[in-house]
Structures are given as structure tokens and as C-alpha cells.
């Protein structure tokens, strides 16, 4: 095996990948366009939906409660501090709820006025349609308004007895955020960005790996390639580095798309949830270690993908194997997606995919632990060696190389 031969094979494979317009368009161009568009559209849709839920909450009194006194109580006392709640007068509130003309029905018990005067509790029923998200949300909003009204009545009654309403709150709670660098406002970013980086690196080389071995077998160009001057070790490394390079090119393209989306709408990065890059300070050494772990992850999966492509007899068979690899990659990614930086365990830093997710969670969460980062890097290097050795062993077996 010679470095010169490895470079020759690498250049040849890169040229082949560049010439394949379908691969370039599907793996680089389309993600740069579609990902920011999808995130912006989804983020805008979520924000619009939240705005619609919290604004113009239309409610009505039930037929039995629809009196002038009840309307005055509900409008001027219960809903007075909530201008987003609109009391609608309708002849048939049940039908109006079914037709989405209102979102919630308020029903007061018949003796509510007498009970209020006597200082007794009154019963208020909220009717809503649980199958409709806006109706269910409206019931929650109205219930909160009723609770506020209830607290006002309690304070009025306490005051009328000559007591200080402050006795109702014997303890005051003050919350102080002690997270470093004002962390805590980027939970969604900590959840999504590490997961996306790990997943994209792990699966980014699949199109290249599928074509560079199984594709060549199908095109009957693989056997002639074995008769050239480079030995099988040089051929393997050349293809291996081409797949690794392509996986990171795909990652860069997709991250570029995410950055474009962020510049257009900062909330697109977290799909509509208010978050951003404010308050995040990156530790340079920790970031370098995380990037090295990411590179090792890409190399690990490049070895697996080359091995699967070598085993496959055709391009379609290789695609089938790669689909299982995608599922196997998603499982550890999703398993760590909702874990916060403070809850990371050392075991996570010893497993592929999990270690990359954990490393970036640690950085974004401001909880740097260099021992775990070094542990992740060392174990990642071990996985790189194992997968590359596995792929090399397959390249030496004639019954595997010429299965077709």
C-alpha cells in the first residue's frame, strides 16, 4: 500500500462523485434549499398556530346562564383582565361550538348570585371540544381567568373582615438562575443541533459508499479496477477517504442551509420555539475535541458503509443494507435527544453517535468535562480502527468481493 496510490484512487473517486449530478443535487443542493425552507415554514406555522390559540379566544354563556347579570359578571369581572377572551352572544352556543364559531361555553349555576353575596363557593362549568386543540386551549385560558377572579373574591372577603390579604401568602418564592453564562434559554437548541450533527455525519456518506463499491460492481468496473497498479489496501483507503470526505461535505451543505434559515428567521433553527444563540459561549478546547469526535464518527460510519457496500451484490441491495444502518443510527440519536447537559453519563461518551451528541450538548449547555470528552475521542478512535479493519478484511475475501 502506497500513499501515492491512495491519493490517485481518492482523486478518481472524487471526480466520479462530482460528475454524478444526481448525487450532488440530492445530497448537497437540495438539503441547502429544502432544510431552511421546511424549518422556516414549520416554525412560522407553529408560531402562527400559537398566536391563533392565545388571541381572539371566543366564548359564550350557556342558554341557561345567558342573562344580563351573568354577562356583566363574566365580562366585567371574570374576563376583564384578559382582553384576548371575547364574550360572544349566541342563541345556540352548542351549535356555535360545533361550527367553530366559539371555542368554549361558560355555564354558571342558577344560584350563583346568592352564593356570592353569602360568601359561599359557586360552581362554574366549562364546556369544550377535546377533539379540537383550540377549544381545549381556550378552556385552559378561561379556567386561568376564573382562578384569577376567585383570588380577587378571596382578597375582597379577607379585606371586608378587616384582615390583610397578605396573610394568604405566607411565603414568597424568588427564583434565581445560577446557570453559567445565563444558560437555560436554549434547551431546544441543545436538543436538536447535536442530534442533527451526529445523524448527518453518520449517514452523509451513504450515497457515496453505495455507489463506490456496489455501484461499480453493478457497472462491471470494479473487477478492472482491481487489476490496476494500486493494491486492495490503497483502493480501500482511497474509497474510504472519499466517503468520509463526502459525508462532511454533505454535513457542511446542510449546516449552511440551517445557517441561511437562521439568518432569515432565528427561530427556524428550533422550528418555531423561541430560542437562539444568545448567551452561548463556546470553549475553544472543548469545541476542538467535539469536532475531532465528530470526524471520528464520520470515519467510523464510512468504514461500516464501505463494508456493507462491499457485501452487497448490487446497488439496490446496498441501499437496503444502508436503510437498516439509518435506523440503527437514529436509535441512539433519539435516545439522547431529550437528555440535558447536566444529565450526561460517562457511558454515553463511549458509544458512537451518542458520544457526538453528548459532546455538543455539553458545549451548548456550558457543562464542560474534559475527561468525558477525551474518553469519547479515545473510544471513537478505537471504533474507527475496528470498522476500517472490518472493511479491509472484506476486501481481502474473494467470495465477498465477487459475489455477483
Q: pLDDT digits over 146-177, tens only? A: 999 998 888 888 888 888 877 777 888 887 76
Of 168, 195, 228, the domain-final residue: 168
Q: What is the pLDDT of residues 88-135, one digit of tens each?
A: 888 899 999 999 889 999 999 988 888 888 888 889 999 999 888 888
Q: Give the Cα separation of 308 and 291 in Å (integer).
A: 26
Residue 35 has pLDDT above 50, yes or no: yes
> For the purposes of burial, counting CB atoms within 10 Å of the CB of 319, is it exposed (0-12), middle (13-18) or buried (19 or more)?
middle
- Place 179 in a pLDDT band, splitting at 50, 70 and 90: low
Q: What is the pLDDT of residues 196-210, one digit of tens each?
A: 888 888 888 888 888
Q: Are residues 313 and 215 part of one domain?
A: yes
Q: Are residues 242 and 117 part of one domain?
A: no
Check if the beta carbon of residue 300 is closer than 8 Å to that of residue 383.
yes
In terms of DSSP H, where are the helices of 124-186? 133-160
Picking from 60-74, 278-292, 323-337, which range would have the lowest pLDDT averaged per residue? 278-292
- Place 184 in a pLDDT band, splitting at 50, 70 and 90: very low
Of 142, 168, 194, the domain-final residue: 168
Of 137, 168, 199, the domain-final residue: 168
Structural domain count of the chain: 2
Place of cell 464518527: 297
Q: Are residues 337 and 247 part of one domain?
A: yes
Three-class DSSP category at 124: strand
Residue 173 lies in a domain: no
Based on DSSP, count helices (H) and strands (E) in the chain, helices before strands: 17, 4
pLDDT of residue 389: 92
Nearby residues of 33 by Cβ (< 8 Å), 6 or more positions away: 257
Q: Domain span at residue 142?
A: 56-168
Three-class DSSP category at 58: strand
Residue 42 has pLDDT above 60, yes or no: yes
Three-class DSSP category at 64: coil
Q: Give the Cα separation of 179 and 166 in Å (integer).
A: 32
Question: If you average pLDDT over residues 273-302, what whole number do you get?
Answer: 79
Three-class DSSP category at 66: coil
pLDDT of residue 383: 94
Measured at the alpha carbon of residue 283, what is the angle toward residues 278 and 285, in degrees to the nearest 5? 155
Check if the beta carbon of residue 37 is closer than 8 Å to that of residue 262.
no
Q: Are residues 68 and 191 part of one domain?
A: no
Q: 90: domain CATH number?
A: 3.40.1710.10
Instruction: Write down how long the chain is.
Output: 404
Q: Are residues 379 and 233 part of one domain?
A: yes
Nearest partner of 212 among 200, 225, 199, judged by Cα: 225
Q: Are residues 195 and 64 part of one domain?
A: no
Residue 219 lies in a domain: yes
Q: Does the predicted model carry a pTM greater than 0.85? A: no
Measured at the alpha carbon of residue 295, what is the angle toward residues 278 and 209, in degrees to the nearest 5? 125
Check if the beta carbon of residue 190 is closer than 8 Å to that of residue 276.
no
Q: Give the Cα separation of 164 and 362 in Å (integer).
A: 49
Question: If you average pLDDT over residues 361-389, what whole number do you get?
Answer: 90
Q: Are residues 257 and 124 part of one domain?
A: no
Strands 57-61 and 104-108: parallel
Picking from 15-29, 43-57, 143-157, 180-194, which range would have the lowest pLDDT averaged per residue? 180-194
Across all residues in the chain, what is the average pLDDT?
A: 82
Q: Indicate the angle between helix axes 370-395 and 354-365, nearest 10 degrees.
A: 160
Residue 139 lies in a domain: yes
Residue 38 lies in a domain: yes
pLDDT of residue 39: 66
Residue 174 lies in a domain: no
- Place 378 in a pLDDT band, splitting at 50, 70 and 90: very high
Check if the beta carbon of residue 150 is closer than 8 Å to that of residue 157.
no
Amino acid at each position: 500500500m502506497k500513499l501515492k496510490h491512495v491519493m490517485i484512487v481518492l482523486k478518481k473517486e472524487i471526480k466520479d462523485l462530482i460528475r454524478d449530478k444526481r448525487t450532488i443535487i440530492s445530497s448537497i443542493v437540495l438539503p441547502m434549499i429544502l432544510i431552511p425552507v421546511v424549518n422556516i415554514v414549520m416554525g412560522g406555522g407553529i408560531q402562527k398556530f400559537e398566536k391563533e390559540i392565545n388571541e381572539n379566544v371566543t366564548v359564550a354563556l350557556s342558554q341557561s346562564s345567558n342573562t344580563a347579570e351573568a354577562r356583566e359578571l363574566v365580562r366585567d369581572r371574570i374576563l376583564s383582565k384578559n382582553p384576548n377572551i371575547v364574550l360572544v352572544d349566541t342563541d345556540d352556543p352548542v351549535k356555535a361550538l360545533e361550527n367553530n364559531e366559539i371555542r368554549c361555553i361558560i355555564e354558571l349555576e342558577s344560584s350563583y348570585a346568592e352564593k356570592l353575596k353569602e360568601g359561599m363557593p359557586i360552581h362554574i362549568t366549562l364546556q369544550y371540544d377535546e377533539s379540537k386543540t383550540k377549544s381545549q386551549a381556550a378552556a385552559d385560558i378561561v379556567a386561568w381567568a376564573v382562578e384569577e377572579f376567585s383570588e380577587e373574591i378571596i382578597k375582597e372577603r379577607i379585606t371586608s373582615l378587616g384582615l390583610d390579604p397578605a396573610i394568604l401568602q405566607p411565603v414568597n418564592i424568588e427564583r434565581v438562575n445560577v446557570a453559567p453564562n445565563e444558560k437555560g434559554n436554549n434547551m431546544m437548541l441543545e436538543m436538536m443541533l447535536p442530534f442533527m450533527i451526529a445523524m448527518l455525519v453518520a449517514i452523509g456518506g451513504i450515497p457515496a459508499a453505495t455507489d463506490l463499491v456496489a455501484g461499480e460492481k453493478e457497472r462491471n468496473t470494479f473487477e478492472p479496477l482491481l487489476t490496476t497498479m494500486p493494491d486492495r489496501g490503497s483502493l480501500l483507503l482511497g474509497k474510504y477517504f472519499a466517503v468520509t470526505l463526502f459525508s462532511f461535505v454533505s454535513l457542511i451543505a446542510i449546516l449552511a442551509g440551517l445557517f441561511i434559515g437562521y439568518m432569515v428567521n432565528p427561530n427556524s433553527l428550533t422550528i418555531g420555539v423561541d430560542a437562539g444563540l444568545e448567551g452561548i459561549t463556546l470553549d475553544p478546547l472543548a469545541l476542538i475535541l467535539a469536532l475531532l469526535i465528530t470526524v471520528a464518527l464520520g470515519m467510523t460510519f464510512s468504514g461500516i458503509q464501505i463494508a456493507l457496500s462491499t457485501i452487497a451484490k448490487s446497488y439496490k441491495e446496498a441501499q437496503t443494507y444502508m436503510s437498516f444502518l439509518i435506523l440503527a443510527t437514529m436509535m441512539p440519536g433519539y435516545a439522547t435527544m431529550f437528555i440535558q447537559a447536566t444529565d450526561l453519563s460517562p457511558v454515553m461518551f463511549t458509544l458512537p453517535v451518542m458520544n457526538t451528541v453528548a459532546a455538543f450538548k455539553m458545549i451548548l449547555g456550558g457543562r464542560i468535562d474534559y475527561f468525558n470528552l477525551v474518553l469519547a475521542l479515545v473510544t471513537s478512535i478505537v471504533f474507527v480502527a475496528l470498522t476500517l479493519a472490518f472493511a479491509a478484511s472484506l476486501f481481502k475475501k474473494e467470495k465477498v468481493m465477487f459475489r455477483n
